[in-house]
Structure 1
Amino acid sequence: MSFLIRKKACTKWAIASLFSLAFFSQSAWANAQVLQDYVNQLKTFSADFEQIQPNEELFQLNQSFGHFKLQRPGKLMWEYKRPQEQRIVVDGKNLWVFDKDLEQVTVRPIEDVKSEIPLSWLLYSERIEDKFTIVDAGQRKGMQWYNLAPKEATYFQSIEVGLKDGHMQEVWLYQGPDNITKVRFKNIEENTPLSPEQFRFKVPYGVDVIGQPS
């Protein structure tokens, strides 16, 4: 008799476990699909940004401001205006970084650094789940948040993306529990035409170039 009770209990536990697993799988799929649907419909993105980054040596926060433009797939321009000027361009083949104060340009083929770009999930046409595990991070600050954990080792631990009314508002980059770079977007424009010239990098006259483009 006791064996039959245990057997029935095990059967109920198994059914409950399968149901929970199915529910979790459907929920995880739904979370992934919301973010994927947003990315799929996105052709261009343009916005001003504010970036807050911890300075571990000085025990303070560094604040930067600039402008960001993206054209999917594969083109990006990230420009810091202040406090120091720096321009980062992905032209589809190469990653260019121009540091005005150093009068120096660094260039690397994009295939060598693709996995190191925190916005690679947004920049390319690959399914996000191919490279990241997507977890619903809940609601806060009036936004729905999604956590993206890279499936292969990279310099960051995870990324959080905040959506409000179906539009990207913030991106947080986690390099550790106390090392979080926070980017907030404003003056956002989506799917408006952008000139191809904005994603073509021209080496300024007289600056040093480190690396070779592909």
Structure 2
Amino acid sequence: MRLTKVCLVAVTMLVATVVRADDIDALIGKLDQFNTVSGKAMQVITSADGEEIQKTQSEFKILRPGYFYWRTLPPYEQVIVSNPETISVYDPDLEQVSIYQSEKMRNSPASILSGNRSAIEKQFKVTKSGASNDKKSTSFELSYIDTANADFKKLTVTFKKDLLASIVMHDMLDQVTSITFGKVNTKAALTPAQFEFTPPAGVDVIIE
């Protein structure tokens, strides 16, 4: 379940709190530079004392707006496929597919990748990070407005040379999940048909 939440973090980011519009503009500007993207990802989860808990490798595809594919490779294999209507989570080890309505998952950090300004404003306070030693990097810190229902304390999204480079998440137990992106292709030839998911024969299908 944790892996699912983290991946949804990394599909669907993406009141009284004051939001800095200029920082949201800057973040949306970065996201709006691509409509399609594919690549690889390395995900590392560490405990509050810095001990590595889990390391996984993944491959992903995004077609904006609303389409997302994320496959975590063995030994922790899992497939998440999202389109504007549904999100399907397939766990081969459990021989199980869980299907959610996309509307129910809009508060996940993954919604940031959609670049939907309204969704980001409703869910997050966005702050552009200060100057970095790496002048080619730009980072944004996102914290949930509704902290009572948040899975994470904060998220940091970093771009290098205008490409998505990493997402770092700090959860309520002070565990840290770091996702580093590589082989990023912003000219991927993707179509909505590639984001349709048919459950394999014989698996349990759960409608959430």
Q: TM-score range by the shorter chain?
A: 0.7 to 0.9
Is the alpha carbon distance of 1:72 and 1:193 closer, same or farther for their aligned partners in structure 2, counting shifts above 3 Å?
A: same
Tell me the number of residue pairs that the alignment of Structure 1 and Structure 2 aligns.
183
C-alpha contact 2:151 2:172 (8 A) present in aligned 1: no
Instruction: Give 5+ residue unaligned stretches, structure 2.
Output: 1-17
Q: CA deviation at 1:139?
A: 4.6
- TM-score between both structures, scaled by the size of structure 2: 0.79
What residue in structure 2 maps to residue 203 of structure 1?
199
SS at match of 1:161: strand
- CA deviation string 1:1-24 (max 9, x = no partner): xxxxxxxxxxxxxxxxxxxxxxxx
Counterpart AA for 1:198: Q
Instruction: Give 5+ residue unaligned stretches, structure 1.
Output: 1-24
| Larger of the two Rg values belongs to structure | 1
2:145 is aligned, of 151, 154, 174, to 151
- TM-score between both structures, scaled by the size of structure 1: 0.77
**CA-atom RMSD in angstroms:** 2.2
Q: Give me the whole-angstrom Cα distance separating, in 2, the residues matched to 1:170 and 1:140.
A: 15
What residue in structure 2 maps to residue 185 of structure 1?
181
Q: CA deviation at 1:131?
A: 2.9
Whether 2:56 is the aligned partner of 1:64: answer yes
Q: Give me the whole-angstrom Cα distance separating, in 2, the residues matched to 1:75 and 1:109.
A: 13
What residue in structure 1 maps to residue 3 of structure 2?
none
Is the alpha carbon distance of 1:210 and 1:51 closer, same or farther for their aligned partners in structure 2, counting shifts above 3 Å?
A: same
What residue in structure 2 maps to residue 34 of structure 1?
26
SS at match of 1:119: helix
- CA deviation string 1:90-144 (max 9, x = no partner): 12111110001111111111111221x2220222533433432111223557332
SS at match of 2:193: helix
Q: CA deviation at 1:60?
A: 3.2
Is the alpha carbon distance of 1:88 and 1:55 closer, same or farther for their aligned partners in structure 2, counting shifts above 3 Å?
A: farther
SS at match of 2:29: helix
1:54 is aligned, of 46, 68, 77, to 46
SS at match of 1:157: strand
2:169 is aligned, of 166, 173, 189, to 173
Identify the structure with bigger relative contact order (alpha carbons < 8 Å, sequence gap 6+).
Answer: 2
Bigger fraction of residues in helix: 1
Overall identity of the aligned pairs, in %: 27
C-alpha contact 1:72 1:125 (8 A) present in aligned 2: no
